[in-house]
């Protein structure tokens, strides 16, 4: 699938990279190693996969008050995803990129897609998440 998908913007910015797609939720606290930028939850289908510089696509987060801190550490370590695409976004997840923009001057767009568009995203596709225009652009 290639084309332009309209999205709801939660944090602005432009991120581009390869789609890393899961249909499982992700917990940043206890599920992601910020030093290595990998999923380190052995129960997760993306176990030991790198999220660094990827467009990370997952339906929703497992909320934790520590999620913004993990996101800040990912940004600080240079291991953060290029963008995040959800079907539903936990407000705590959004706080990390907002604070990261302030402290580290790095914009990580966080956007939501409706279910029909969300399920069309396939791992390995290249994409630009344009949190300025409200678009996810998929390349063949």
50 is catalytic: no
Query: What is the three-state SS of the chain?
Result: CCEEEECEEEECCEEEEEEEECCCCECCCCCEECCCCEECCCCCCCCCCECCCCEEECCCECCCCCHHHHHHHHHHHCCCCCEEEECCCCHHHHHHHHHHHHHHCCCCCEEECCHHHHCCCCCCCEEEEECCCCEEEEEC
Choosing from 25, 50, 52, 64, the catalytic residue is 64
Catalytic residue numbers read 64
């Amino acid at each position: 699938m290639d084309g332009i998908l309209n999205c709801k913007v939660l944090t602005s910015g432009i991120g581009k990279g390869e789609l890393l797609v899961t249909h499982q939720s992700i917990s940043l606290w206890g599920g992601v190693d910020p030093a290595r930028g990998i999923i380190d939850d052995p129960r997760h289908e993306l176990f030991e996969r790198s999220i660094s510089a990827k467009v990370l696509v997952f339906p929703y987060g497992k909320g934790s008050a520590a999620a913004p801190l993990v996101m800040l550490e990912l940004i600080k370590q240079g291991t953060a995803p290029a963008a995040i695409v959800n079907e539903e976004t936990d407000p705590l997840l959004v706080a990390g990129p907002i604070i990261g923009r302030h402290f580290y001057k790095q914009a990580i767009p966080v956007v939501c897609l409706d279910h029909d568009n969300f399920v069309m995203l396939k791992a390995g596709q290249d994409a630009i998440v344009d949190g300025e225009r409200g678009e996810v652009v998929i390349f063949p």
